[in-house]
Chain A
Amino acid sequence: LAKTTQPISMDSYEGQEVNITCSHNNIATNDYITWYQQFPSQGPRFIIQGYKTKVTNEVASLFIPADRKSSTLSLPRVSLSDTAVYYCLVGDRHSSASKIIFGSGTRLSIRP
């Protein structure tokens, strides 16, 4: 089971690009990397998922180096509404959901 390590908290300012890095040194061949966002008083929201290189959608980009031992969630031009907790999950998407661990996440605070 690939363990993930991500910063407990990060601060940034409106309009900046924010990069949150997640370490997963023990990632397995079949594992994917998935990121969720959770606003206060709401359920987690699926943001993006990737296996290698780069994935981009309307919300974020996910950069995965060739060795896949880490990944970076990139949020372009953040606003106050991007203040949330961001979770990095690693695992085989076809495996049992019993192995899913959300961890403590990264608490991102955006300032004006």
Chain B
Amino acid sequence: EAEVAQSPRYKITEKSQAVAFWCDPISGHATLYWYRQILGQGPELLVQFQDESVVDDSQLPKDRFSAERLKGVDSTLKIQPAELGDSAMYLCASKAGGSPLHFGNGTRLTVT
């Protein structure tokens, strides 16, 4: 079964440093999502893309977070500068049309 690929799997960074996460959705999936999941909580939507366009980024802290999907395929989420409170699992998911949401394994970020 095709999977959503994410890298790196784990990332440790110091506060005030920049960090980036990469996601490659399932081929043909036009809709791509970035979620943040803090331990003990549910996934929180950060940004949603339809092809290369942002559909919803209302919950993205735009002073430090940015996301792009330049060619409408893979996507990058960046944090600059990272803060201690950004420690969380960052999940990427994708879907096509009426198909269900498919998640990647996530990137676990620890900010020290």
Q: Do A and B interact with each other, yes or no?
A: no
